[in-house]
Amino acid sequence: MKTLVFALLLIVSIVHAEQKKTHLQLPYAKAIALLEGIRGDAIILGEGKTEVYVFVDPLCPHSRKFIRMVSQNAQMLAKYRYYVYLYSIPRLKSERTVSAIFASKAPAQMLMKVMVGAERHAADVTAPTQKRVDEIEAVARAMDVYKRPYLMVALRP
């Protein structure tokens, strides 16, 4: 299982590799502290003990592949708890889709419909939704999240 997660992280890193750009690497403790601050904004998948923080765009094909793989693997859902944060890629214009997911009575189910079922949903951005999006975006910018999916595993003793 560790090999599968490592291989996935390696593939995602290779696919999204960029040249001549330097990215800020926030110290681990600071990144975890920031993520803890937006834990309530996450859509949670899985019930495992190991926490994985994931930034995705619901219209990003790579994010969709990742969510599809995770959601269809009972063993991964049993071992890991994924805190999924919706963080739009500007060129994909997914803001209305993000709003539809957050506005849903069951955001995890709506996330699956959009990202796995490829259903199209859109909603106008409301003040509570925008607040949630802004909180996630502030943390993502502080952590220099520059690709989707962006994963970070919590290392707990």
CB 84 within 8 A of CB 46: no
**CA 153 and chain centroid, separation:** 12
Three-state DSSP at 63 gives helix
pLDDT digits (tens, 9 = 90+) for 57-85: 999 999 999 999 999 999 999 999 999 99
Query: How large is the average pLDDT for residues 29-42?
Result: 95
pLDDT for residue 19 is more than 60? no
Q: pLDDT at position 21, please?
A: 66
Helices 2-15 and 61-71: crossing angle, nearest 10°? 170
CB 110 within 8 A of CB 101: yes
Query: E strands of the chain, at which residues?
Result: 43-45, 50-56, 80-86, 150-153
Please give the share of the chain, as a percent, with pLDDT higher than 70.
87
pLDDT for residue 18 is more than 60? no
pLDDT digits (tens, 9 = 90+) for 75-123: 999 999 999 999 999 999 999 999 999 999 999 999 999 999 999 999 9
Q: In sequence order, what are the residues at sequence separation of 6 or more whose Cβ sits closer than 8 angstroms to the Cβ of residue 128?
A: none
In this structure, what are the phi and psi dihedrals at residue 17, rounded to the nearest 5 degrees?
Answer: -65, 135
Q: pLDDT at position 5, please?
A: 63
Q: In sequence order, what are the residues at sequence separation of 6 or more whose Cβ sits closer than 8 angstroms to the Cβ of residue 77?
A: 45, 46, 47, 48, 70, 71
Q: What is the pTM of this model?
A: 0.84
Q: Which tokens belong to 65?
A: 């592949």
